[in-house]
Amino acid sequence: MDFKEKIRVIPDFPQPGIRFKDITTLLMDGKAYQAAINELVEKLKGTEIDLVVGPEARGFVVGAPLAYALGVGFVPVRKSGKLPAETIEVKYSLEYGKDALAMHKDAIVPGQKVLIADDLLATGGTISATLDLVKQLGGEPVGASFFIELSYLNGRQKLEGLDIISLVQYE
């Protein structure tokens, strides 16, 4: 399936000059959504995975069904103050400012093999912060998977050494 034709591109969102890649059109198409998850599962065959970790919010719509299909647990990564139990946090830089991500302290047992999943790899900031959380809890990152990769933003460089899978690349 050509997933790129299922992704809507919105010019000048959220600001002029940005061509936003909107996956909601892919998600609304049940067959395309299922095919995207199935293709990621296929590409992950042979990889030992205990948990999938996904940052909010779109990491949930990729990570949770991926975890389900793999028969492993899912761990949500949320913005600061959104998780009810004791958390760890990491601050990171955005294009215009700073943010913080949090994960429950008991979400990962040291030594567990962790896959990070999100809808999009752009600059790598959010995924790098998520990776920091995984490592703080003793998880062993085994890779990261995405529906979309914006290759021209060089996010892979921030995640050097991590196996990266993306279904669609924009050069």
Report, as residue numbers or ranges, the catalytic residues. Answer: 58, 95
Alpha-carbon distance of 171 to 168, in angstroms, equals: 10
Amino acid at 155: G
Exposure b/e, 58-77, CB count within 10 A at least 16 = b:
bbbbbbbbbbebbebbbbbb
Residues 6+ apart with CB under 8 A from 161: none
